[in-house]
């Protein structure tokens, strides 16, 4: 329900915690910076409400700068798929976070979770294509592994992403693996916290990519640009976190 101020208030069926209980400690107008989806508002608006639009600008600038560098500065080779896919994958993951954050009623959460799951599938496939392309490229050219800080961060990020995806997918689709729906829901908050830290780690992985020989010699994506982009993503995503969804 929207108040006279236009800021949505919580109806009795609202719940920001996973047990579906009304949080008595929550101020009527919500927590500083968080945003709530209005009743009857299309869920797509969740992508841009509040500070979300800043994260969108960051994600779009990331794809624009990396794709421009690949198409304008480099030969198009098998390796090119890697930066194209990884930057696009990060943009997709940003959408999957932004769409779910403002949901707070049971009905909104159900729709949001399905879109989140679909976008995460798209994201993981995109990242998978990017990792396979670099690994196949290395094996064809007998390139050394772990040749840079980015290579270490990239491998850690890839495994972390896979674990995040598998835990998220199974607790959503097969909760009985965790001993039932209630137990599965009790680990959602860890999935959320891990996801927010992973987002930072992915931003650091992209920044470290600018210091690889290939980027310094050929692509020319600037470190400062990736730092500005990461800040936009952080300023856009983190103030919208509903702390009670993290169990705080
Ligand atoms: C979050 C996004 C990214 C992830 C998860 C990621 C992941 C990886 C992985 C797993 C490797 C192979 C490491 C190995 O086998 O030793 C790698 C290498 C590489 N990546 Fe990325 N990457 C990302 C973004 C980017 C971007 C945006 C660029 C270009 C601007 C890039 C450029 C490179 C280069 C040049 C290498 C070869 C470096 C080396 O082996 O020392 N990566 N990345």
Q: Note down pLDDT in tens along the chain; length 248 residues.
A: 333 333 333 433 344 455 444 343 344 445 555 689 998 899 999 999 999 999 999 999 999 999 999 999 989 999 999 999 999 999 999 999 999 999 999 999 999 999 999 999 999 999 999 999 999 999 999 999 999 999 999 999 999 999 999 999 999 899 999 999 899 888 889 999 999 999 999 999 999 999 999 999 999 999 999 999 999 999 999 999 988 888 77
Question: CA–CA separation, 203 vs 191, rounded Å?
Answer: 18
Give the other-Cβ count within 10 Å of 11's Cβ.
Answer: 11
What does the block give as tokens for 211? 């210091």
User: What is the DSSP secondary-structure string of the chain?
Assistant: -B-TTSPBPPPTTB-SSTT----TTS-TT-STT---PPTT--GGGGGTTTTHHHHHHHHHHHHHHHHHHHHHHS---GGGHHHHHHHHHHHHHHHHHHHHTT--BHHHHHHHHHHHHHHHHHHHHHHHHHHHHHHHHHHHTTPPSS-SHHHHHHHHHHHHHHHHHHHHHHHHH-GGGGTSHHHHHHTHHHHHHHHHHHHHHHHHHHHHHTTSHHIIIII---HHHHHHHHHHHHHHHGGG--GGGGT-
Ligand 1: residue whose CA is nearest its atom 35: 214
CATH T-level topology, domain 43-246:
1.20.120
For position 246, what pLDDT does the model report? 85
Measuring from each residue's beta carbon to the nearest atom of ligand 1, which residues come in under 6 Å? 66, 82-83, 86-87, 90, 131, 134-135, 138, 145-148, 150-151, 154-155, 157-158, 202, 205-206, 209, 212, 214-215, 219, 221
| Whole-prediction pTM | 0.88
């Amino acid at each position: 329900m929207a108040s006279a101020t236009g800021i949505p208030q919580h109806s009795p069926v609202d719940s920001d915690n996973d047990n579906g209980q009304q949080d008595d400690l929550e101020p009527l107008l919500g927590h500083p910076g968080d945003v709530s989806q209005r009743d009857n508002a299309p869920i797509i608006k969740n992508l841009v409400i509040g500070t979300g639009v800043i994260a969108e600008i960051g994600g779009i600038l990331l794809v624009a700068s990396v794709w421009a560098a690949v198409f304008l500065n480099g030969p198009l080779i098998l390796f090119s798929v890697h930066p194209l896919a990884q930057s696009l994958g990060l943009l997709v993951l940003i959408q999957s976070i932004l769409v779910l954050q403002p949901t707070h009623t049971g009905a909104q959460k159900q729709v949001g979770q399905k879109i989140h799951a679909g976008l995460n599938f798209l994201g993981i496939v995109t990242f998978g294509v990017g990792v396979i392309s670099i690994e196949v490229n290395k094996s064809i050219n007998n390139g050394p592994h772990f040749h840079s800080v980015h290579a270490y961060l990239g491998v850690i990020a890839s495994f972390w992403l896979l674990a995040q995806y598998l835990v998220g997918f199974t607790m959503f689709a097969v909760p009985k693996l965790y001993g039932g729906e209630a137990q599965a829901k009790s680990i959602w908050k860890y999935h959320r916290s891990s996801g927010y830290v992973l987002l930072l780690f992915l931003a650091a992985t992209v920044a470290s990519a600018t210091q690889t020989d290939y980027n310094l010699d050929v692509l020319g994506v600037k470190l400062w640009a990736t730092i500005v982009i990461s800040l936009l993503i952080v300023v856009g995503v983190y103030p919208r976190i509903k702390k009670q969804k993290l169990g705080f």
